[in-house]
Amino acid sequence: MLNTFQKEPAFLVLSDGTLIEGKAFGFRGTVFGELVFNTGITGYEEVLTDPSYFGQLITFTYPELGNTGVNFEDQESDSPCVKGVIARRFSAKGCNWRSKKTFENWLKDEQVVGIYDVDTRALVRLIRSSGTMNAAISSDGKNSPSILLEKISKQPSMSGLDLTGEVTTKKTYKWSLSTAVEFDKRLRKHQKDPFKVVAIDFGIKRSILNRLASHGCEVQVLPATANFSDVMKFAPEGVFLSNGPGDPSAVKKGISLAQKLIKEKDLPMFGICLGHQILGLALGCKTFKLPYGHRGLNHPCGKDGRIEITSQNHGFALEASSVDPTIIDITHLNLNDGTVAGIAMCNRPVFGIQYHPEASPGPHDADHHFARFIELMLERRLNVV
């Protein structure tokens, strides 16, 4: 049953002055954030709890949300990380055997403001032509559109923001839960002698930790503020740099850590999304803000005839012209726009990819990058022995 009976008004105001009227759902309030869009057909629960979306307002291009309700197994963090949700329409009832709560009740409980009955196709076309911008959703009747526009002008730009401190763990913890899927039967050979991995949490997703464990890793998760000695006291066989929100060039401590690890240790290192960008910055590359980012489940990436369909969520990318070919090999390109999607050091066991290989949500094409990380650690272990 579609939620067509609610009549409470809500407003979406963009920084360029665009006013869109809709109807309220979820929590009633007013929120500000960067307006972005996601093209995935499935996985709204994973998307909304992905820490990489911290502080943003998400427009879903798929026309209906909430059909399968909400369960608590698919969440990528304890609660939604977004500030607001924009939908064409939503289902008032979630129909799925795993569902524990309706989509709207979940948003209400988690205080996420929503607006529906919006022409999301037209909104996405606007973002694609004008670029991402700050915006506001208001459903509590306390602010007029003109007041909202004035408040939007005072909101900070995403450029220059280090948001990792808002989403990182506050203390170190150990992760050993794996993904329970059929195709993991082939991965059991390292379970009796797991690889010691330190994961730097810039906004890590639970499913990424699950995949590391499934591939035979015993993971110690450290805060984004961790320094070199914090990492080395665990005697890791490999270091993982996670996804996360904000401008990568502003994550100074993470860049400094990566530089020191690369300089002083010959450890395998694997970075994804924000972690991939931090690796690039540590190696002298530059980053830039994409016009409207890459957020969806069907981005083709590859090079030299090898292609994988990937899940992505990021607003910044490495400048290809800043990559030193004597140090770094560009291993993957985003085949939609030609931006850098993968790098590897030429003579060191260090690599990164711009996308989310754990496929939550999304296709499993990129899961082999975890195996690559394992192979590098195995090679190092054999050489050390």
Does the active-site annotation cover 81? no
CA pair distance 38, 44, nearest whole angstrom: 9
Q: What does the DSSP 8-state code read for residue 124? A: H
CA pair distance 173, 192, nearest whole angstrom: 21
* E strand or H helix that includes residue 105: helix 103-109
Which one of 276, 294, 332, 356 is the catalytic residue? 356
The distance between the two most distant Cα atoms of the chain, rounded to a whole number of Å, is: 69
**Residue tagged 């524990």 (tokens):** 100
Nearest to 177 by CA among 210, 226, 201: 210
Rg from Cα positions in the chain: 21
Which one of 34, 45, 308, 358 is the catalytic residue? 358
Which regions of 139-229 does DSSP assign to beta strands (E)?
173-175, 195-201, 217-223
Tokens read off for 307: 């292609």
Q: Would you say the C-alpha torsion 383, 192, 370, 168 has a positive or negative sign?
A: negative
Does the active-site annotation cover 358? yes
Question: 252-264 and 274-282 helices cross at what angle (nearest 10)?
Answer: 60
Does the active-site annotation cover 356? yes
Tokens read off for 284: 């002298």
Residue 343, helix vs strand vs coil: strand
CA pair distance 215, 217, nearest whole angstrom: 6
Which one of 81, 217, 273, 301 is the catalytic residue? 273
CA pair distance 52, 64, nearest whole angstrom: 23
Contact present, 316 and 233 (Cβ < 8 Å): no
Write out the catalytic residue numbers: 273, 356, 358
